[in-house]
Amino acid sequence: MPVHHAGSRNATELWRRAKGQGFRGSLRVIGEWATRRRRAEQAKIERLQRVPSARTALQPEEMTMHATQIDRMWFQAHPDREYHLRRQTAVELAQWPVHPGCDFDPWCIIRRADGVMEVFALKVGDIWDDHDLELEQFFDSLREAA
């Protein structure tokens, strides 16, 4: 969902901003998200109030994607690997409720065991080490935050 700007609690305002960034969803989607967000803030639910790390500055909520045929072929070619890190394709990015914006690149981590994909965005130019241990820890933190 859209980045929750400081002082911006109006769903219509958030929807207009998201629409300007290419969001194709309805005002209702944003309204429901804003309502959940306000309720979480009021109830002091730690999960939604947690400030995301710099690496996870943007992560679409409630979005499940799975490994593609190319990902499965990558795992076949790399039998020693349990996680695969790659940038998202334009088709995959189109499924995001709100695009990450021009300052962010869309990325994903795929877990071999079940083909589950976790998506996130990194600032343009940021790099990531492609080691299974680090990817596993980050993948788990994304799963916990969802």
Structure tokens at 142: 């994304």
Is 30 a member of any domain?
A: yes
Listing from the earlier edge strand, what are the strands of the sheet with 104-111? 65-66, 116-123, 104-111, 83-87
Which amino acid, one-letter code, is at 130?
A: D
Do 94 and 65 sit in the same domain of this protein?
Answer: yes
Contact 62, 146 (CB under 8 A): yes
Number of domains in the chain: 2
Do 27 and 96 sit in the same domain of this protein?
Answer: no
pLDDT, the chain, mean: 75
Do 75 and 138 sit in the same domain of this protein?
Answer: yes
Q: Which domain holds residue 74?
A: 54-145
Highest mean pLDDT range out of 9-13, 19-23, 76-80, 104-108?
76-80
C-alpha to C-alpha distance for 94 and 104, rounded to whole angstroms: 15
Do 62 and 123 sit in the same domain of this protein?
Answer: yes
Do 67 and 99 sit in the same domain of this protein?
Answer: yes
Do 105 and 91 sit in the same domain of this protein?
Answer: yes
- pLDDT band, very low/low/confident/very high, at 77 (cuts 50, 70, 90): very high
Half-sphere exposure of 41 (CA within 13 A, CB side): 9
Do 17 and 85 sit in the same domain of this protein?
Answer: no
Higher per-residue confidence, 143 vs 85: 85
Is 59 a member of any domain?
A: yes
Q: What letter does residue 102 receive in the DSSP assignment?
A: T
Is 5 a member of any domain?
A: no
Digit-coded pLDDT (tens) for 29-68 = 777 777 777 766 665 544 444 544 544 444 444 456 788 8
What pLDDT shows up at residue 3?
47
- Cα three-residue angle 93-134-70, rounded to 5 degrees: 40
H/E element holding 122? strand 116-123
Contact 57, 104 (CB under 8 A): yes
Residue % of the chain over a pLDDT of 70: 74
Q: Which residue has the tokens 């979480």?
A: 40
Q: What letter does residue 76 receive in the DSSP assignment?
A: H
Do 128 and 73 sit in the same domain of this protein?
Answer: yes
Q: What letter does residue 58 receive in the DSSP assignment?
A: B
Do 22 and 94 sit in the same domain of this protein?
Answer: no
Mean pLDDT of the 118-127 span: 84
Do 83 and 116 sit in the same domain of this protein?
Answer: yes
What pLDDT shows up at residue 102?
84
What pLDDT shows up at residue 79?
93
